[in-house]
Structure 1
């Protein structure tokens, strides 16, 4: 199975390169740093580095408190952070700058993986959430590198998708020293996939430990003064293709009852920023963007946040937050950012990527599920008109967030034990 998998990886590599070319048409960073994807980059001269892999923005955000804990507890350690996407790369640079060594994770080709490991020489590998690359895992075991999957999650959909490769993945997972799962459900799915039950632990979700950026609340207060402190404001965050139209139609319904309402719209992918802005203008809304105006004024009806990693102040300045990727079958995105700021949360029917967190927020009263696109407008309007319900939901959401904190400390205890060994 491993031989066939490796052969398939070699055969699809030209297609992966073509995909990079195609994506680079819309987002130029995809055309940069190609050699790194094959293990070619300057040798940093490390020996015994701590390596954290976080595929994209969401995983980088989840890993932020863990990386900061590693920097605090192991100040002399050389820290390597890898990503796969340019947006993840930009987020690493924004959060950590030159305090970590960043490189793209190479494709799962034996020689590329070997070059990569020889250059960074890790004494511990930490894979965030759901990245299972058989050749990489086998290479770590062959070199005696302890490997942990931290904040591990595995959706039912992913489990079904992995079934044709179950034998190979079972062998790969047996290369893992520890799997620190977000929940009992995630732990059970990893066991079903073939992980050694003795090596699967439940440590909780590290996203509950994410810090609220310094000054985010103060910045939000300043922005509200500029766009109108009494205006009803709602936010649609991390939206995907097929969702912006529903969000804008919902905002039209809101404007009929609340003509001074403001929508903060944050598309998920940078290559879609310009397209979304054009769509908003074509529908006749008065529009401002983060890139041009910085902050909306009292005359703007929609504000497009065309920047990455800057959502927290806007969440803090909103009365209601809809989290995207959930009206379309993407699986939803992080509902904890608005929850941490006591902002009521709305989600669509598709939240399998954050199933337990979302379900917990809904059960505890901090979030509501929108049954479909047509229901988004009425639900947003109802909350904007009901300050008491917003306050209660926000308080309950923040309570869930506070109760679940502590995963990073539990993961760090496991890391300390492994490094001492």
Structure 2
């Protein structure tokens, strides 16, 4: 009943949805030349042969699936992979990093005419959904066409569990459409089963098995020469409010580390000029990478507001604070993937709000691969200690890389779980 009402309302809301998307386009949140894809209009011809459609909401999901795509294409040479997502940033990253026989499209907005147009063109042979973004019309229409589906790295937060339990038939109907359900953790698998998924289980977290983020060797060499022996640390994937806290950390440390360079990589690169303005007003000497700036001797904060260069700065900075994790900020909560910097030998620090990576954060702190801090003052104390203590950094780096290596087999287990779908056994 609720699903039918949702389908009817989203169909009738076509003009409003179109207006909403146009407003997003004006704000730079939709791609200027690929807008039609959000309405289900294909941006290219369907490739010949079998097509696996993989959907992730945004950057994190799309990056986590790259090693899985590589392994699937190696095992199934007659398949092509289409990755869909809904953000401009994720689309640009996928255009850079997807291998041959894989391509990106924007996911259509969940309105039946647009969904049907999308499925009529692409005719996927199997579908993999990532994590926790459920679109009822897309799922129901895919199921109606008898296309097998899997949910991989499924995640159910505390708040999502409470919300979905108020609509048991609705969420149960969606989860019942998946022939394979893999939770990100054992707890997620149990919650998915409780909500109606059949045979949900956990074979590991794909985000723990990702390959190291790439970096341009020449750019890395150039920045190392520019920075020289200056102590530097990185605040990665920051969100609004955190950059000022990062500047407070810098000011607290600069008396004892007068040559300190703080580097910020915002989660959304388009915020770079805004961050630069705010920090300059607070007294920082700022250089902005997107305008060609490099850190000079006078630069206190270098804002790396470019796309796809996080791996470069993880290699450059021995100490990393993982953003979206400080409390009492407008966008606090959830955190970002702390294993990405650990995989590249960084000492990792994050705040208390790591709900999206709670198990991984616990594993890293218990193993000595990361430190969790309560607030900006504690962050400054920990960053200062790590910058001064090379041995402590080495111990944390070794623990982080050991933990990353232990998760390397997850991708193999996910491929094995997907084998019945790709062999057509679940049709």
TM-score, normalised on structure 1? 0.92
Of residues 386-395 and 257-266 in structure 1, the stretch that sits farther from structure 2 once superposed is 386-395
Output one character per residue of 1:381-400: Cα deviation in whole Å (capped at 9) or x when no partner. Answer: 12212222111111111111
Determine the C-alpha separation between the residues in 2 that align with 1:326 and 1:17.
Answer: 34
Residue in 1 that maps onto 2:148: 146
170, 177, 180: which one aligns with 2:179:
177
Aligned pairs for 1:203-214 within 5 A:
203-213=203-213
Correspondence for 2:323: 324
- The answer for the alignment partner of 2:394 in structure 1 is 391
Separation of aligned partners in 2, 1:56 and 1:205:
17
Q: Which residue of 2 aligns with 1:44?
A: 45
Q: In structure 2, what is the equivalent of residue 248 of structure 1?
A: 247
Is the 1:206–1:406 Cα contact (8 Å) retained in structure 2?
A: no
Change (3 A) 1:264 1:16: farther
2:98 aligned counterpart, secondary structure: helix
Q: How does 1:361-376 map to 2 (within 5 A)?
A: 361-376=364-379
Higher normalized helix content (fraction of residues): 1
Quote the residue 1:351 is aligned against. Answer: 354
Alignment partner of 1:413 is 2:413: no
Once the 2 structures are TM-superposed, how far is the Cα of residue 128 of structure 1 from its aligned partner?
A: 1.3
User: CA–CA distance in 2 between the matches of 1:64 and 1:294?
Assistant: 31
Structure 2 residue ranges without an equivalent (≥5)? none
Matches within 5 A, 1:16-415: 16-27=17-28, 29-42=30-43, 44-46=45-47, 48-96=50-98, 99-196=101-198, 198=199, 200-213=200-213, 220=220, 222-228=222-228, 230-293=229-292, 295-327=294-326, 328=329, 329-415=332-418
Normalising by structure 2, report the TM-score: 0.91
**Native 8 Å contact 2:70 2:99 kept in 1:** no
Deviations 1:127-155 (A, max 9, x none): 11112122212222211111011122222
CA distance in structure 2 between the partners assigned to 1:164 and 1:235 by the alignment? 42
Give the deviation of 1:297 after TM superposition.
3.5
| Distance in 2 of aligned mates of 1:25 and 1:273 | 19
CA displacement, residues 161-218 of structure 1 (integer Å, 9 cap, x when unaligned): 333333201111001011122210111121122212x2x1211111222222556678
**C-alpha separation in 2, matches of 1:307 and 1:274:** 11
CA distance in 1, matches of 2:86, 2:134: 13
Q: Over residues 222-250 of structure 1, what are the superposed CA-to-partner deviations in whole Å (9 max), with x where a residue is unaligned?
A: 5222211x221110011111111111111
On the 8 A contact 1:216/1:316 being kept in 2, the answer is no
Structure 1 residues 12 and 406, CA, compared in 2 at 3 Å: closer, same or farther? Answer: farther
Change (3 A) 1:318 1:12: farther
In the alignment, the residues of structure 2 paired with residue 40 and residue 104 of structure 1 have an alpha-carbon distance, to the nearest angstrom, of 10
Q: CA RMSD in A?
A: 2.2
Gaps of 5+ in 1: none
What is the CA-CA distance between 1:376 and the residue it aligns to?
A: 1.9
Q: Which moved more, 1:268-277 or 1:313-322?
A: 268-277
**CA deviation after TM superposition for structure 1 residue 86, in Å:** 0.6
Q: Is the 8 A contact 1:153 1:182 kept in 2?
A: yes
Q: 1:118 to 1:203 in 2, by over 3 A?
A: same
Q: Distance in 2 between matches of 1:354 and 1:28?
A: 26
* 8 Å CA contact 2:213, 2:340 repeated in 1: no
TM-superposed deviation, 1:18: 4.7
Cα distance, 1:43 vs structure 2: 5.8
Q: Paired residues, what number? A: 418
